[in-house]
C-alpha cells in the first residue's frame, strides 16, 4: 500500500492539505503524484485537496500543472493557494458541500 494512501486510510482523513511554502522545487514530474492521491474510502470520489505554494517552487509547479496537468493556467486547478487561510477555507467549504450532497435525497 502506498504511504499516503495508507495514512489516509488509517486516519480516516477528510481532506489533504499540502504545505509547500518552504519547498525549493525546481523540476521533476514526481511532484505531480502528490496531487493525485486516491481516496481510500471511496475511490470514485476525490478527497478535497489544497496546496499552499511558496516562492521557491511557484515556477516549477506552474510549469508542471500546465505542461503535465493539462491546465491552461495552473491557477485554474482549483487547489493552488498562496496562504494557509485561503487553503483551509477552501477545504472547509468543499467538505461542507460534499457533506451536504451526501445528505440530500
SS3 per-residue string spanning 1-21: CCHHHHHHHHHCCCCEEEEEC
What residue ranges do the domains of the chain occupy? 11-103
Element holding 53 (H helix, E strand): strand 49-53
Measure Cα distances from 45 to 19, 31, 93 in Å. 22, 21, 16
| Start-to-end CA span in the chain (Å) | 35
What is the model's pTM?
A: 0.78
The Cα–Cα gap between 36 and 59 comes to 20
- Give pLDDT tens digits along the chain (105 positions): 455 666 766 777 778 888 999 988 877 667 777 776 655 555 556 678 899 999 998 998 898 888 888 889 989 888 899 999 999 999 999 888 777 665 555
Amino acid at each position: 500500500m502506498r504511504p499516503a494512501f495508507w495514512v489516509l486510510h488509517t486516519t480516516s482523513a477528510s481532506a489533504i492539505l499540502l504545505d509547500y511554502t518552504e519547498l525549493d522545487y525546481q523540476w521533476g514530474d514526481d511532484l505531480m503524484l502528490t496531487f493525485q492521491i486516491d481516496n481510500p474510502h471511496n475511490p470514485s470520489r476525490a478527497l478535497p485537496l489544497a496546496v499552499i505554494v511558496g516562492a521557491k517552487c511557484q515556477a516549477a509547479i506552474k510549469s508542471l500543472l500546465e505542461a503535465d496537468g493539462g491546465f491552461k493556467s495552473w491557477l485554474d486547478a482549483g487547489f493552488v493557494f498562496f496562504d494557509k487561510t485561503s487553503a483551509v477555507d477552501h477545504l472547509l467549504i468543499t467538505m461542507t458541500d460534499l457533506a451536504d450532497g451526501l445528505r440530500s435525497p
